[in-house]
Structure 1
Amino acid sequence: MSRKRRTIADIIATAVGAGAPIEFVAYDGSRYGPTDAPVKVRVVNEQALSYLATSASMELGLARAYVSGALEVEGKIYDAFKVLGSVDFEPIGVAEKVRVLRDLGLKILKWNPPLPEEIGASRLAHGLRHAKNRDAAAIKHHYDVSNTFYEWVLGPSMAYTCAVYPTAESTLEEAQYEKHDLVCRKLGLQPGQRLLDIGCGWGGMVRHAAKHYGVTVVGVTLSRQQAEWGQKAVAEQGLSDVAEIRHGDYRDVVDGPFDAISSIGLTEHIGVKNYSAYFQKLHGLLRPQGRLLNHSIMRPTNTERVAYGRGFINRFVFPDGEITALGRTVTALQDNGFEPRHAENLREHYAMTLKGWCDNLDEHWDEAVQEVGLGTARVWALYMAASRLSFEKNKIQLHQVLGVKVDSTGNANVPLRPWF
C-alpha cells in the first residue's frame, strides 16, 4: 500500500505543533492553522523551501525566503515576530528530514546564489577582519544605501542610534535631541573646548554640540554618503567655522588633543579583539581630565561568546559586526587608561526608538521600495522589527559608559555626584 504524499501544510504542522496562532497558506493549495490567526504566512513558491533546506540556520533561511519574496507575511513584521516567538517549534529528527525530502523532492536542495542584498565575508574587500579596507566595505554596505531612504526611516534628526525618551509620550525627534544633549551634559562640554565625535554618521551630534554648547567639533565617518550629507547640513546651518565632518577612519585622526570624545554606535563595528587598541587610541587623543562617552549595543551577560556568525544580521545588515557585554567593555576601558565614572542601560529606549523607525518605514513604504528596491526595504523591516523585540525581551542591551582620563596626580575633575 503506497504511503500518502504529505502536503506542505502537513510538514509545517509537524514542526509547528498544535495550537500555534499562525495560519500558513502554501502554493500547493494546502493550509494549516486558524483562519482568524493574527498572523498569516504564505509560502509563495518552492524557492522558500529551498532556502530553508539549504541555509546554515532556520533564521537565515526564513530571512532569505522573505527578502526574496518567496515567503510573504500579512500584517506587521513585528507582530509576526511576537507570535512566532511564542511558538514552541518541534525539533525535527534525521528520519523526519529524510521523509520531508522524499515528499518534497531532492530538487529543494539546489544551490542558491546569495541575494543581491546579502553580503558575506567572501564578498567584502580582501583583508583581515576589521582591517581598514574591509571595515570600509562593511560600512559602505550598510550606510551607503540612500540618504533619502534614511531620511524617511530616521526622520529629520538623521540620528541612527538609540534615542533617550524624557517621557513615554515624547516624540522620536524629542528623544533624539535629548540623547545628543545627554551626551553633551555627561561630557561636561564648555564653550571653546574641542570635541571629537567618531562614527559621527550624518553629523547630528556634531551639529548639536557646536550649536548648543559652543564647542569646536570634528566628526569622522567611514561612510562617504553620510559625510557628504553631514557636510552639507553643517554648511546650511552656518556651522562651518566650528564643525567639520571628515570621511575617514577614526584610527587616522592625529590632530589631538581633544577635551572630550563621543563614540555613539561605533564600538559594534570595531571587533571585540580590538577593544584595547580602540581605547588606547582614544586615550591618546584626549588631554588629561578629558572625558569619553561610549554608547553601544551590548549583550546581557558576559558568559555569551562573541558570535562571528553567518546569520541574517551579519550577512544582510552589519557585516563583521560584533558585540559583547558591559563587563568586558568596562574592563577594556579600565585596562587602557580610563577611569569609569558612570554606566547606564537604555535598552527600553532603544525598543522605543526602533518602533519609531518601523513606523516611519511603514509610512513611507511605497517610496522606500521605489528608492532602494523591495528586497532592501524588506531587509530593513525584518531587522528593525527583530531588533525591537530583542531589546524588549532583554536579548540585547544599550549602554552608555562614561570614562575619564585622569591626570598625573589622579585628578579626574568631575563633580562629586552625577551632574547630568
Structure 2
Amino acid sequence: MEDPLHPLIARTDERPTGPLTIAEIVDLLLEGPPLLRVTAFDGSSAGPDDAKLHLHIANRKAVAYMATAPGSLGLARAYVSGDIEITGVHPGDPYEMLVSLGNFNFRRPDPVTAARIVKAIGLKQLIPPPPPPQEVLPDWRRRLEGLRHSKERDAEAIHHHYDVSNRFYELLLGESMTYTCACYPSEDATLEEAQFTKYDLVARKLDLKPGMRLLDVGCGWGGMVRHAAKQYGVKALGVTLSKEQAEWAQAEIKRQGLEDLAEVRFLDYRDVTETDFDAVSSIGLTEHIGVKNYPAYFEFLAGKLKPGARLLNHCITRPDNVAPPRAPGGFIDRYVFPDGELTGAGKIISTIQDVGLEVRHEENLREHYAKTCAAWCDNLVANWDECVAEAGLATAKVWGLYLAGSQMGFETRQIELHQVLAVKAEESGAAHMPLRPTWGA
C-alpha cells in the first residue's frame, strides 16, 4: 500500500523541456491532478484553485526534507518544523489532509525526467537538513544507548513518549486518563463511557471478584488498577516505566481513597517479585517489548499466575503474520514509539500457547480504536491552545499527525487491535472457565 505521506515517488514517460518549478515537479510525479491545492515558495501552484485543502511548500528546506527522507518521515519533518504549511484542516486533526494524500497515485520518473527533477531541486537540497528536536536518534545511534529492548533503552523510549507532561495527557485523553483503545457500547457513546466499558470488559473477561489479586503491567496512569479496585474490590498492583505516570497514578489513587487496594509503582515489569496473582492484564504494553522477546514476556507473565488464573493481553497488531515487524526509521519510530514493533494476532496467540497457557477467547476491536483516535483528536482540537502552551507547537502537531494517521490506519485495516484471553489451567486440565462467555454486551 502506498504511504499516504510520501510525496516524491513516481514514474512517467513525459519528457518536458526547460526549468521545472516545484508545482511542475508535483504534476510530473502524480498520475492525475492533485485533489488539493499545492503552492510553493517559487510562486508556482498545482491543483484546483477552489480546493478546501491547501498544502504550501514554504522554502527549499521543505524540499530537502522530502527529497532526502524515506516515506512519511520527510513530509513529517517539514510539517513539524513549519516548513510545510497546511490549511483547510486543524493541526490537531489533519485527518482529511491525510486521506487526500493517501488518494494520490504516484509515478516513478524515467532517468531523464529524474535528472531534471534533481537539477531543479539542486544538489544542495539532497543533503539532509538537521531534523526537528522532537525526533529521536536513528536506530543505529540508539544502539549506543543500549541493545534494543534492554531495560535502559526501553526506559528511554517510554520516557520519550509518555513523559510529555501529565497536564498535556489530561487535555488529550480526558477524565479517564486512559491511553489505550476504548470499547464503544454504542455509536453515540462518549469517550469516557467507552473507556469505562473497556476496563469493565477486561475485568469481566478476567472474572475479577472481591479479594482477588491483579497485576497490571504497563499500567499507564493506573486506569485498570483503579477500576479493578473500585468496581470489583480487587487488590491491584500496576507497574509502569514512566515516572510521571506513576506519580500521577498514586496521587489519583490517594484522592479516590483506594490506597488499601490499589498501588502503582515506577518499575520495569521484569522486576516485579510478587507471584500467585489471580489475574494479569497487559493493556498496550506488548507493542513495546519486541517480537523476539514475546516468549520470555509471556513466560514471565505465566509465572506470575496461580493455577486457574487468567491473562488478558490487549495490543495493536498487524493485519497478518507474514510481513516482518516494522523497520525502524519511519515517522512512528522517530517521533512517536521508538523501538515499537507490531506483528499479527496469530503470532501472539501461538506464543501464549507455546508458554503453556490455554487461549480461550480472542476479539478484534479495530473499529473501536479508530473511534478512540478520533475522540482524542477532538480533545486535542478543543484544547489546542493549552496543549501548545504545555508541550510546544511542534509536539502538538506531531500528536495531531500521529492520531489522525492512526485513525486512518485502523479504518483501512493497516493495523488492528486484538484482545486475547488465556488461562493457566491446572495440572488436571481444569480451567475454571464458563461453558459460554459471560462478558457479552
Would the TM-score normalized by the shorter structure come out above 0.5? yes
Please list every run of 5 or more consecutive structure 2 residues that lacks an aligned counterpart in the other structure: 1-15
Counterpart for residue 403 of structure 2: 384
Please list every run of 5 or more consecutive structure 1 residues that lacks an aligned counterpart in the other structure: none
1:163 matched to 2:182? The reply is yes
CA distance in structure 1 between the aligned counterparts of 2:104 and 2:52, rounded to whole angstroms? 13
Counterpart for residue 71 of structure 2: 58
Counterpart for residue 414 of structure 1: 433
Whether the aligned pair in 2 keeps the contact of 1:23 and 1:32 (CA below 8 Å) is yes
Equivalent residues in 2 for 1:63-142 (5 A)? Answer: 63-76=76-89, 77-120=94-137, 121=139, 122-123=141-142, 126-142=145-161
1:16 matched to 2:30? The reply is yes
Whether the aligned pair in 1 keeps the contact of 2:136 and 2:338 (CA below 8 Å) is yes
1:238-286 deviations in Å (ceiling 9; x for gaps): 0011100000100111111100001000000000000000010001000
Counterpart for residue 48 of structure 1: 62
Counterpart pick for 1:267 among 274, 286, 290: 286
CA distance in structure 2 between the aligned counterparts of 1:327 and 1:15, rounded to whole angstroms? 38
Q: CA deviation at 1:308?
A: 2.8
CA distance in structure 2 between the aligned counterparts of 1:261 and 1:180, rounded to whole angstroms? 13
Counterpart pick for 2:423 among 404, 408, 413: 404
Whether the aligned pair in 2 keeps the contact of 1:155 and 1:173 (CA below 8 Å) is yes
Q: Which moved more, 1:263-272 or 1:123-132?
A: 123-132
CA distance in structure 2 between the aligned counterparts of 1:407 and 1:18, rounded to whole angstroms? 63
Counterpart for residue 308 of structure 1: 327
Q: CA deviation at 1:104?
A: 2.4
CA distance in structure 1 between the aligned counterparts of 2:152 and 2:293, rounded to whole angstroms? 16
Q: Which moved more, 1:255-264 or 1:107-116?
A: 107-116
CA distance in structure 1 between the aligned counterparts of 2:128 and 2:62, rounded to whole angstroms? 13
Counterpart for residue 12 of structure 2: none
Q: Secondary structure at the match of 1:98?
A: helix
Whether the aligned pair in 1 keeps the contact of 2:34 and 2:46 (CA below 8 Å) is no
CA distance in structure 2 between the aligned counterparts of 1:373 and 1:341, rounded to whole angstroms? 45
CA distance in structure 2 between the aligned counterparts of 1:127 and 1:93, rounded to whole angstroms? 43
Q: Which amino acid aligns with 2:125?
A: I
Whether the aligned pair in 2 keeps the contact of 1:308 and 1:320 (CA below 8 Å) is no
1:349 matched to 2:368? The reply is yes
Q: CA deviation at 1:370?
A: 1.3
1:279 matched to 2:298? The reply is yes
Counterpart for residue 252 of structure 1: 271
1:154 matched to 2:167? The reply is no
| Residue identity (%) | 54
CA distance in structure 2 between the aligned counterparts of 1:392 and 1:185, rounded to whole angstroms? 27
Whether the aligned pair in 1 keeps the contact of 2:58 and 2:83 (CA below 8 Å) is yes
1:320 matched to 2:330? The reply is no
Q: CA deviation at 1:123?
A: 4.4
Whether the aligned pair in 2 keeps the contact of 1:306 and 1:324 (CA below 8 Å) is yes
Q: Secondary structure at the match of 2:161?
A: helix
1:22-78 deviations in Å (ceiling 9; x for gaps): 1101111111000122321010111110001111x1311111111111111113310
C-alpha RMSD of matched pairs (Å):
1.3
1:291 matched to 2:310? The reply is yes
Q: Which moved more, 1:67-76 or 1:26-35?
A: 67-76
Q: Secondary structure at the match of 2:109?
A: coil
Counterpart for residue 217 of structure 1: 236
Whether the aligned pair in 2 keeps the contact of 1:124 and 1:137 (CA below 8 Å) is no
CA distance in structure 1 between the aligned counterparts of 2:320 and 2:121, rounded to whole angstroms? 42
CA distance in structure 2 between the aligned counterparts of 1:309 and 1:244, rounded to whole angstroms? 35
TM-score under structure 2 length normalisation? 0.93
Counterpart for residue 144 of structure 1: 163
1:31 matched to 2:48? The reply is no
Q: Which moved more, 1:307-316 or 1:385-394?
A: 307-316
Counterpart pick for 1:179 among 198, 204, 214: 198
CA distance in structure 2 between the aligned counterparts of 1:3 and 1:419, rounded to whole angstroms? 70
Q: CA deviation at 1:111?
A: 3.1
Whether the aligned pair in 1 keeps the contact of 2:20 and 2:116 (CA below 8 Å) is no
Q: Which moved more, 1:158-167 or 1:68-77?
A: 68-77
Q: Which amino acid aligns with 1:70?
A: D
CA distance in structure 1 between the aligned counterparts of 2:29 and 2:18, rounded to whole angstroms? 19
Q: CA deviation at 1:85?
A: 1.3
Q: Secondary structure at the match of 2:145?
A: coil
CA distance in structure 1 between the aligned counterparts of 2:431 and 2:111, rounded to whole angstroms? 61
Q: Which amino acid aligns with 1:364?
A: N
CA distance in structure 2 between the aligned counterparts of 1:125 and 1:258, rounded to whole angstroms? 37
1:366 matched to 2:413? The reply is no
1:321-352 deviations in Å (ceiling 9; x for gaps): 00100111100000001100000000000000
CA distance in structure 2 between the aligned counterparts of 1:93 and 1:244, rounded to whole angstroms? 62
Q: Which amino acid aligns with 2:80?
A: V
Q: CA deviation at 1:414?
A: 0.8
CA distance in structure 2 between the aligned counterparts of 1:384 and 1:133, rounded to whole angstroms? 27
Whether the aligned pair in 2 keeps the contact of 1:125 and 1:137 (CA below 8 Å) is no
Name the CA shift for 1:234/1:125 in 2 (closer, same or farther; >3 Å): farther
Name the CA shift for 1:184/1:125 in 2 (closer, same or farther; >3 Å): farther
Whether the aligned pair in 1 keeps the contact of 2:71 and 2:330 (CA below 8 Å) is no
TM-score under structure 1 length normalisation? 0.97
Q: CA deviation at 1:5?
A: 1.4
Aligned length: 418
Q: Secondary structure at the match of 1:304?
A: coil
Whether the aligned pair in 2 keeps the contact of 1:125 and 1:133 (CA below 8 Å) is no
